[in-house]
Amino acid sequence: MTLQPADILLVNSSGILGTVIDVITDSPWCHAAIIADPERRLGIEAQIFRQVDYRPIDDFLGDALVLRYPKLTRDQQNKILQYVKAQIGTEYDYAAILKELLRYGFGIPPQSGENHGRFICSTLITNAYLSVGIQLTDQPLASPDDLFLSDKVVVAGRLGIDL
């Protein structure tokens, strides 16, 4: 199996921030990125304390699960990648993290997933797929775990183990 453009990486990190997210969400998936260029092994992510930007996917070797929307066309892949590339330099959405804390910590669901021009890792991905009419999850503010639980994607492999 090979990586494809617009594949989704779900990351299980053992760092401090990853551990905090694991505890809050009760999920091993604390981060998500999207495959932008499989040949150059580049992804695009929205990461806390940074802007949306490229990142080498090899940074996630052994810690990432690869999800794939099985019916994705080449045209949809290109449009999804155009969308995420257009977001490079966008600020991180710290308000969304607070909403997620309220959701997971206190059971208060977010009223909307509007990003106001900012993203967390998983909303960058859900919005990119929405740009081509694909709703990956029913959650208005999706988390990496919501992506994992989506019935719209399949597990394509584990980065660094069989890819």
Residue 1 lies in a domain: no
> Residue 8: how many CA atoms within 13 Å on its side-chain side?
32
Q: What is the pLDDT of residue 160?
A: 76
Residue 57 lies in a domain: yes
Q: Order of strands across the sheet with 64-68?
A: 53-56, 42-45, 31-37, 8-11, 64-68, 154-159
Measured between alpha carbons, how far apart are the two ends of the chain, in Å? 6
| Highest mean pLDDT pick, 43-52, 53-62, 67-76, 86-95 | 67-76
Owning domain of residue 95: 8-159
Residue 2 lies in a domain: no
Residue 131 lies in a domain: yes
Residue 140 lies in a domain: yes
The CATH code of the domain that includes 73 is 3.90.1720.10
Total domains in the chain come to: 1
Residue 3 lies in a domain: no
Kindly indicate the confidence band of residue 20, based on its pLDDT and cuts at 50, 70 and 90: low
Q: What is the pLDDT of residue 10?
A: 94
| Highest mean pLDDT pick, 66-70, 90-94, 136-140, 143-147 | 66-70
Q: What is the pLDDT of residue 62?
A: 78
In this prediction the pTM is 0.87
Q: What is the pLDDT of residue 70?
A: 96
Q: Which residue has the higher pLDDT, 154 or 47?
A: 154
Residue 83 lies in a domain: yes
